[in-house]
Structure 1
Amino acid sequence: MLYAGVEVTWAAAGVTVPWKEHASYAPAVQFLLAALSLLAGCACLAGTRTLAKPGRVVVATALITALLVFVVGTNGLPIYFVTLVTLSGIESATGLAQVLLNTAGAALLLLVGLSYRRRLRGDCPRCGRPHAGASDGPLAHPAPSRAPRRTRISVYLLMCGLLPWAAAKCIWTLGGNALGVAGDDWQRTTSASASGPSKAAASVGIDVTVLAAMVGIFLLLGLLYVWGQVFPRWTLFLSGRRVPRLLPLIPAWLTGIPLAMYGAVLIIMSPLIAVGVLPEIKPSPPFTTSSGITWMVAFGGLAFAGLGIGLIVAARSYAARTRPVCAGVTATQRPE
């Protein structure tokens, strides 16, 4: 209802809500999003009741459709995160609010859909395992463990996608030339809109977006190893305590999915531009050639998709390894 109210208010007042650069939501689209959010809310309420098969199909369809729409709407979240962390300023407050609304809607619908699916399978809607007894008692958490070797290797390989993109950024920040871009031109162009933290990082040869990627790598490693489940010694007063399960999972899902989608688009675009299926991107400072921009699009696709998919893979493993069970109940065998 909150989402619908905001969308209708913006559409009726003619508020500009950007969804990408130089493009905004049309009022008709905002009214459609409001209707979809109300439909999703009704589906959430209906999902708590015992329904016949047609009703279950309608509820599942509404939840999946709304979830996919909201997930697509979170696509700009990583970009806003970088601008906020680097104190570079927000280009559009309404655009940020729209992304946050979509993110909240996607997260809540994902939880509702997961609980609904568990109930349909006869599992506990809370812990996801079949058992007799109530599902509102204490939870038993599994012992901390690291991700399987295959998962760790997969995530490491995906992280390698960051290397070409990060190397180009660092070369430019250090004053070197790459992809037809001179380091001096890069520094002059970026320093015009850079904030204090960005300039401080650049002074030691580190691009601030590379620093943001390192935050993602830190999150990845926490999802893979035991210190992401139990606070390590360097956390002082939190040392030895169990890490709340959703603390790393929520940022991993919310950044991993948009990054993976954005990176996939860039990976598809770059070869199509190179072979002439899509028009060349006209160079703009500090880039001097279309080929340089095309290469950077490819590098960006590898970096964003690699980091995003890596977060999704690591989060999936973390969720499975840390999933608690309802304590004090008797497990039952799911019927075949």
Structure 2
Amino acid sequence: MTALHAESRDGSRTRLALIVTGVWAIASIAVASTWLVGMTYTFPLLADDGTPRFGPAATQLLAAVIIATSAAGAGAVFSGFGLRSRLRPRPLALTGLILGATAALLQAAPLPLSVLGLIITGRVAAPFGLLWQAATAVALIGFVRLTMIEWRRFRGSCLHCGGHHRSAARPELERPAPTMAPAAVCVASAISLIAVFPWAVVKLGWGLGETLLGVTGDEWRSSADGTAMSPLARTLADLGVDVTVLAAGVGMILAVLLLARLPRWLPAPLLLVPAGLAAVPLIAYGYPLLIGGLLGLTGLMPLPPPPAVPGLDLPLILIFGGLAFGGIGTALGVGAVSLLRRSRAVCRPGTYDPPTRVAVIGGGFAGLAAVKELAKSGTDVTLIDQRTYATFQPLLYQVATGGLNAGDITYPIRNALAGRPGLRFVCDRVTEIDHDATMITTAGGERIGYDYLVVAGGAVANDFGIPGVAEHAIGIYTRPDALTVRDRLFGILEDAARAGDGIARSVVIVGGGATGIELAGNLAELRDHGLARSYPELDADQVKIILLEAGPRLLGPFAPGLQDYTLVQLRRRGVDVRLNTPIVEVGPDAVRLADGGELEASLVVWTAGVRGAAEPTWGLDRNRAGRVLLDRNLRVPGRPEVFGAGDAAVIQSYPLPQLAQPALQTGKHAARQILRLERDQPLRPFRYFDKGIMATIGEGSAVVELPIGPKITGPLAWLTWLAIHIVYLLGGRNRLVTAANLAVRYLRPGSFGVIVGDPVRATPAAAAPRQRSAVR
């Protein structure tokens, strides 16, 4: 249990809000229904000439909207909100509460006008209407409170203070000082002063008013005599002082003082003073002018007859009223919110339990997706990975062929976690997991406790027990692997150029999956477009690219038509593709085939498959491929606190391909499962949302298979593949640099630029291949 379950101390107010909003919602439906029916029989919708009457029609529409939103609010309140229901649909309840608050706001909006009329005239035109508006305002407060609580539950934050607690030793919630609040009050007060100043000047009949709007002082004096004003406002007007300008000016000056904090002893609650003074012109002019102008514009209410507003037409009313209402209203709101944020009590020790500890093993697609989801909930998350960076594996083949820098497809894990409270990164290798003590031991001797564990350690190359693979073949699943392939590849080219013997060198790629065909196609492009420019001593025939696949087809998960297209494209690019060709041994300079044949190989790249990275010392059940076994809830059977995600694990009854999208989705789902357990909600079985699969063969050629729709090949598929892979890279710099490097490689005519390192060159005795046989 964590701060997610910290209950608000004022539960009685929450229960009162539930009662008030529920009763009001039912009454609102009844009142609005009366409107809807009464308007139909009382006011005809059509005038005598047959034209529609906007007023009755607009009122009917407003009543229908209020009925619908009130019903939604009632449904949210009465559907179990505020109760410990395990089946509560939070997003739906939150939406219903927002709609209920909208209904209350629509009906409470005339309340300031009614109160202002009561203050000025001392009587109320419709006492029941005023009471209903006051009740609606109370209901609005209740809806706002319930919406706030439901939003906190939806986000998994503390119900008492709305924050995410980091640890029991530090219960105070870290809140940034609202330094922008005084500035906002200052700016808004200045806007309101500018907005209402011409109106006030003209109203008093000053000379500037005659200049601006052509209204004489006599006209304004006679208008003021016929205008309802409060005694204080009339007294100030007789003295030549306008209460609007006075209030806005004083508010602006105080806001400037608070902004500059001069003198320093000014207390923060004084922020309400400029906001309150700024509210005076809001009530006096902004709200009546804006609402009255809008009602006059729509025809629901006639505009005041002259001379109440002489010389000012409807556009000016709307402009002045809107500016005053928006500017000063913003100042009032910002000031009040700022004061509440400063004075709001934070959780004290004892009001919440220590935060949940979640350990995530692996900083790949699945691990980072889980960490980012958990970071929203206030849990303490420890991410463990033996590397300091996350690698975008789909583009490793570009690093291996010199198309990209290794830094273009890697991103520091600490940068990915920066700015997320409660996250900790440990760069180390997990050596042991003690499930009874819920403790992880790393190679460096650190012991990390957890309440929940997410195993997302990714995968490593699977040699399937074939002799020589670990010693003589190079995988392409990590950054060091890709750099090794690149350096070995250019070392082979340098040796061939130095020897000048005209004998072919062979690069053998084992595995016809997406990585294998992407590497083979890119190597063919490098040979065909790069050798002539960078290695004029070599002919394209001196570099053989052989792709071996043990099965009958390339790209097993793809549709047969796309598999055939891929095979044709590779062979057209000069790749020697051999299907149904399993290998039995990898030697230092040759590959032995199952049929007894042998292929000379200057470089063997292993892309035949992967296995889970989980180790036997972790105490988890694994399949033959080393992947941790999971149920549909992504839990390890018999270990309810352990979840799995990505390539490191497999759902026994629902196996998924070892691709980026399954890793991202399982990582996020595992994190959400943990949050559901913390909120006493039932777990949800994982469902994979298939976004399609794709693979590139080379420039202008790729295959894209979407779950619904046509199968795409050719340039359109290649551009789609390129755009999606750039977008999914971590970091804006990586996206820009990758796009630039690929543009130089593919868009520059006659060039196939490469990024090289230090070529790994063979010894003179081993530089030349054996003469006894040719590549078969």
Report the TM-score range of the alignment, normalised by the length of the smaller protein. 0.5 to 0.7
Change over 3 Å in CA distance of 1:12–1:152 after alignment to 2: closer
- C-alpha distance after superposition, 1:111-153 (max 9, x if no partner): 11111121233332122234599xxxxx98999x7x41x3322
Q: Distance in 2 between matches of 1:212 and 1:87?
A: 23
Q: What is the aligned counterpart of 1:200 among 235, 238, 241? A: 235
Which residue is equivalent to 1:305? 326
* Alpha-carbon shift at residue 307 of structure 1 (Å): 0.5
Q: Distance in 2 between matches of 1:215 and 1:122?
A: 42
Change over 3 Å in CA distance of 1:95–1:210 after alignment to 2: farther
* Alpha-carbon shift at residue 214 of structure 1 (Å): 7.7
Which residue is equivalent to 2:187? 157
Letter in 2 for 1:58: L
Higher relative contact order (CA 8 A, sep 6+): 1
Which residue is equivalent to 2:315? 294
Q: How does 1:132-171 map to 2 (within 5 A)?
A: 147-148=178-179, 150-162=180-192, 163-171=194-202
Letter in 2 for 1:156: C
Gaps of 5+ in 1: 17-21, 134-138, 232-242, 273-280
Question: Is 1:69–2:108 an aligned residue pair?
Answer: no
Which residue is equivalent to 1:184? 218
- Report the secondary structure of 1:326's partner residue: coil
* Alpha-carbon shift at residue 188 of structure 1 (Å): 2.2
Greater share of strand: 2
Q: Distance in 1 between matches of 2:256 and 2:56?
A: 37
* Alpha-carbon shift at residue 4 of structure 1 (Å): 3.5
* Structure 1 range deviating more: 59-68 or 79-88: 79-88
Change over 3 Å in CA distance of 1:283–1:180 after alignment to 2: farther
Q: Distance in 1 between matches of 2:233 and 2:38?
A: 31
Letter in 2 for 1:64: I
CA contact (8 A) 1:118 1:125 kept: yes
* Alpha-carbon shift at residue 108 of structure 1 (Å): 1.0
CA contact (8 A) 2:223 2:310 kept: no
Question: Is 1:285–2:338 an aligned residue pair?
Answer: no
* Alpha-carbon shift at residue 211 of structure 1 (Å): 6.7
- C-alpha distance after superposition, 1:52-95 (max 9, x if no partner): 67722321221111112322333334434443444565454344
Aligned-residue identity in percent:
22
- Report the secondary structure of 2:89's partner residue: helix
Q: Distance in 1 between matches of 2:56 and 2:206?
A: 34
Q: Distance in 2 between matches of 1:10 and 1:295?
A: 33
- C-alpha distance after superposition, 1:288-319 (max 9, x if no partner): 55x75533432222211111122233333333
Q: Distance in 1 between matches of 2:257 and 2:38?
A: 41
Q: Distance in 1 between matches of 2:136 and 2:257?
A: 26
Which residue is equivalent to 1:43? 76
Normalised by the size of structure 1, how large is the TM-score? 0.63
- Report the secondary structure of 1:161's partner residue: helix
Q: Distance in 2 between matches of 1:211 and 1:7?
A: 43
Q: Distance in 1 between matches of 2:127 and 2:342?
A: 38
Question: Is 1:83–2:117 an aligned residue pair?
Answer: yes
Q: How does 1:54-65 map to 2 (within 5 A)?
A: 55-65=89-99
CA contact (8 A) 2:205 2:217 kept: yes
- C-alpha distance after superposition, 1:15-43 (max 9, x if no partner): 99xxxxx8799578658746744652442
Change over 3 Å in CA distance of 1:156–1:7 after alignment to 2: same
Letter in 1 for 2:140: A
* Alpha-carbon shift at residue 110 of structure 1 (Å): 0.7
* Alpha-carbon shift at residue 227 of structure 1 (Å): 6.3
CA contact (8 A) 1:142 1:324 kept: no
Greater share of helix: 1
* Structure 1 range deviating more: 31-40 or 66-75: 31-40
Which residue is equivalent to 1:236? none
CA contact (8 A) 2:236 2:242 kept: yes
Which residue is equivalent to 2:555? none
Letter in 1 for 2:186: Y
* Structure 1 range deviating more: 59-68 or 211-220: 211-220
Which residue is equivalent to 2:362? none
Which residue is equivalent to 1:321? 342
Change over 3 Å in CA distance of 1:153–1:36 after alignment to 2: closer
Q: Distance in 1 between matches of 2:57 and 2:254?
A: 33
* Structure 1 range deviating more: 54-63 or 93-102: 93-102
- Report the secondary structure of 1:325's partner residue: coil
Which residue is equivalent to 2:497? none
Give the number of aligned pairs. Answer: 297
C-alpha RMSD of the superposition? 5.3
* Alpha-carbon shift at residue 203 of structure 1 (Å): 1.5
* Alpha-carbon shift at residue 266 of structure 1 (Å): 10
Q: Distance in 1 between matches of 2:249 and 2:57?
A: 32
- Report the secondary structure of 2:336's partner residue: helix
* Alpha-carbon shift at residue 167 of structure 1 (Å): 4.1
CA contact (8 A) 2:181 2:335 kept: yes
CA contact (8 A) 1:158 1:309 kept: yes
